[in-house]
Amino acid sequence: MRTRILLFIITIVAFSSCRENRMHEHADWAKFYEAYGIKKACIIIRDNNHEAVDYYNKERCLERFMPASTFKIMGSLIGLETATAPDEQYVIKWDGVPMGRDTCNKDMTMREAFRVSCYNYFREIANQVGEKEFQAYIDTVKYGNQRLGTKFNEAWVNDTLKISADEQVGFVKRLYFNELPFSERSQRIVRSMMVWEDTPEYKLSYKTGTGQVGDNYIYWIVGYIERVEQVKENEKSMNKSNFRQYPYFFAQNFEAPVNDTTKDYFNIRVEVLKQILKEYGAMPK
């Protein structure tokens, strides 16, 4: 137990460069999950402006799970950086094999596949990149446990490749600031695909993911929110717009039984995230 607590502190400090007294546990955030009968959940938020880390369920924040479709952030970066996909409009033709969802049973671009989360598109990107180069990027980024196993083109959905919530936060923070080992162009394109809400008060960007772990589904949502504030800049300031964006990085996951069809967990993960962001002050109420 003491080892895991120490690991948590070391990992968070590495990602956030903040002091321990800027790390805050929020046991009360359990109420947001309990309202939907969710018992196994965690969330971690990095307030970049104040260099603070806030979280619920420390132990689970450290535990690695399959990234499922949140890996499409990484998969897109690899595809773009290797020029396998020249840009986000690169079309991969449907192979005719039904994927269980009509939205995926067609030719589509990377942007379309990212938005509707089609596994077959990114499996083909992996195939075209090749296992050796694909693994090299995973290793360079130090993505999760870095394991691709015997089927590298499905490692993110077959429980071989795994990543924790705190590692996800570190990953998207580096993406936001162009700090990943990819070109600025590749990172900019992927960030553009992650945007779901763009308002005068905030911009919300994320990728969801769902994967089966035993008798449960794990539901991920990973990304960041930029709170927009109007300020009066000094006339000598480099920022001439009088608007500033304050980023908050987040990663949330929870589990629900595979056979539970009574709730829409796909949308619940977004709703719970927003409730917490509003209480946290990162999103207007």
Mark whether 176 and 258 lie in a shared domain: yes
Mark whether 62 and 72 lie in a shared domain: no
The per-residue pLDDT for 17 is 36
| Domain end (from 141, 158, 175) | 158
The per-residue pLDDT for 233 is 55
Mark whether 178 and 61 lie in a shared domain: yes
Can you give the CATH number for the domain in which 22 is found? 3.40.710.10
Prediction pTM value:
0.89
The per-residue pLDDT for 19 is 43
The per-residue pLDDT for 229 is 81
The per-residue pLDDT for 248 is 98
The per-residue pLDDT for 236 is 60
The per-residue pLDDT for 99 is 84
| Domain end (from 93, 124, 158) | 158
The per-residue pLDDT for 244 is 79
Mark whether 29 and 102 lie in a shared domain: no
Count of domains for the chain: 2
Q: Which residue range is the domain that position 110 belongs to? A: 68-158
The per-residue pLDDT for 18 is 39
Series of mean pLDDT values for 10-residue runs along the chain (285 residues): 46 44 91 97 96 96 98 98 98 90 93 96 98 98 97 97 98 98 98 97 97 96 92 58 84 97 96 98 93
DSSP the chain: -HHHHHHHHHHHHHHH---GGGEEE-GGGHHHHHTTT--SEEEEEEETTTTEEEEE-HHHHH-EE--GGGGHHHHHHHHHHTTSSSSTT-EE---S---SSGGGSS-EEHHHHHHHT-HHHHHHHHHHH-HHHHHHHHHHHT-TT---TT-GGGTTTTTSS-EEHHHHHHHHHHHHTT-SSS-HHHHHHHHHHHEEEE-SSEEEEEEEEEEEETTEEEEEEEEEEEEEEE----TT-S--SSEEEEEEEEEEEEEEETT--SS-HHHHHHHHHHHHHHHHTSS--
Mark whether 186 and 89 lie in a shared domain: no
